[in-house]
Amino acid sequence: MKGFPARPMHPLLQILALVGLAFAGLCLGSFGALALVSALFGTASLGQAGADPGGTPHGWAVLMLTQGFMLAGLGAGAAVMPRVVGQSWADYFAPRRLGSVGWPLAAGALILVLIPIMSVLVAWNADVHFPAFLHGFEVWARDSENRAGALTKFLTQFGTVGRLVVGVVVIAVVPAVAEELVFRGVIQQNLVRWFGSRHAGVWVAAAIFSAIHFQFFGFVPRFVLGLILGYLYEWSGNILVPMAAHFTNNAFQLVLLYLVQRGAFGWNTAFDPDSTAALPWPLALASAVLAGGLLWGLRQRMGPPRQMRTVSRQGVAAGPGQPRP
């Protein structure tokens, strides 16, 4: 497939192009959501749902449609990048074929194994306090996150299986595809090329991934998740692997919430899926050990990381660009 440029595009230009494409995708997604919401529920529904989702008829459906379309637009913008640089989708995002269907499954299993140790990070980060001179910012940040948390709690009230299915699509499937295309597929791989370092590219991309969510009291666990997703992509050379891990992370939480809401854990009234408390330390310790072993096993199974292309002073990719078979 031939694209527009006649020569390799500098990684920084690709990231800047992504910003433009993502913005265009968000605009198109917002327009599509507005058109559909207006056709189904009336023009005023979108504004009313944003101001008072719980008190607006069809508020849940309106917000789900809006979020789904906007995230899909974001992912569509990233999906256009291969065309811009003159590559096929597979060559750009998944230059290495899956060595086994077990890779995505193992990536998903890794996320589940990590839950106890990640709960320790969640508890620590949720209780972080800023220095005194940033007290005003801390108050603002906590207030913002409380409002966002209330909205998330509203959107994750699943009274029926149908609502759960919609929630899984909008909150698990679409973000797993869209965010991995953006942060791992485009940003990370171009940072790796630009810096000439896999580790620098993975860590900076993970920091951007966490920061862009604007949840300061969840930055560290999301950053660690970004690192795991980033290394899974570097090792596997296939975007489907971090997508599977990302989907598992989101979908597991939704299914757990649904089961709790249905009373599946009625025998344990102390169970609270929204709690930021850490799980017992023996469980967290076992989680860390098992996750470390699984990460090592995945690294060995997937073989050496993709061969890295660096960038010359002229901004042209230099060195081998294809992964090992």
> How many domains does the chain fold into?
2
pLDDT at 313: 44
Confidence of residue 38 (pLDDT cuts 50, 70, 90): confident
Is 214 part of a structural domain of the chain?
yes
Q: Cα-flanking dihedrals φ and ψ of residue 317, to 5°?
A: -60, 135
* 139-189 pLDDT tens trace: 888 888 888 888 888 888 888 999 999 999 999 999 999 999 999 999 999
124 pLDDT exceeds 80?
Answer: yes
Is 14 part of a structural domain of the chain?
yes
When the pLDDT of each residue in the chain is averaged and rounded to a whole number, the result is 86
* Residue 251, both tokens: 């979908």
Q: What is the mean pLDDT of residues 5-34?
A: 89
Residues 284 and 153 grouped into a single domain: yes
* 181-225 pLDDT tens trace: 999 999 999 999 999 999 999 999 999 999 998 888 889 999 999
pLDDT at 4: 53
Residue 209 CB burial class (10 angstroms; 0-12, 13-18, ≥19): buried
Is 86 part of a structural domain of the chain?
yes
Residues 148 and 209 grouped into a single domain: yes
State how far the Cα of 193 lies from the Cα of 205, in Å rounded to an integer.
12
Last residue of a domain, one of 93, 112, 135: 93
Is 3 part of a structural domain of the chain?
no
pLDDT at 132: 86
Residues 87 and 129 grouped into a single domain: no
pLDDT at 57: 80
pLDDT at 265: 64
* 251-265 pLDDT tens trace: 999 999 999 888 776
pLDDT at 138: 84
pLDDT at 308: 58
Dihedral of alpha carbons 93, 99, 104, 106, sign: negative
* Residue 157, both tokens: 């009230």
The share of the chain scoring above pLDDT 70, in percent, equals 86
pLDDT at 1: 43
Is 315 part of a structural domain of the chain?
no
Confidence of residue 271 (pLDDT cuts 50, 70, 90): low
Residues 141 and 267 grouped into a single domain: yes
Last residue of a domain, one of 32, 67, 93: 93
Residues 235 and 301 grouped into a single domain: yes
Give the CA distances from residue 3 to residues 82, 88, 139, 167, 205, in Å, rounded to whole numbers and listed in that order: 8, 9, 48, 36, 26
Residues 170 and 298 grouped into a single domain: yes
Find the angle CA(32)-CA(38)-CA(40) to the nearest 5 degrees: 100
Residues 33 and 150 grouped into a single domain: no
309 pLDDT exceeds 60?
Answer: no
Last residue of a domain, one of 93, 114, 144: 93
Q: Which string of DSSP letters, residue by residue, matches 235-273?
A: HH--THHHHHHHHHHHHHHHHHHHHHHTTTTTT-TT--T
Residues, the chain, total?
A: 325
Find where tokens 């169970």 sit.
Answer: 271
Residues 89 and 105 grouped into a single domain: no
Range of the domain at 283: 99-305
Residues 6+ apart with CB under 8 A from 77: 18, 21, 22, 23, 24, 25, 26, 182
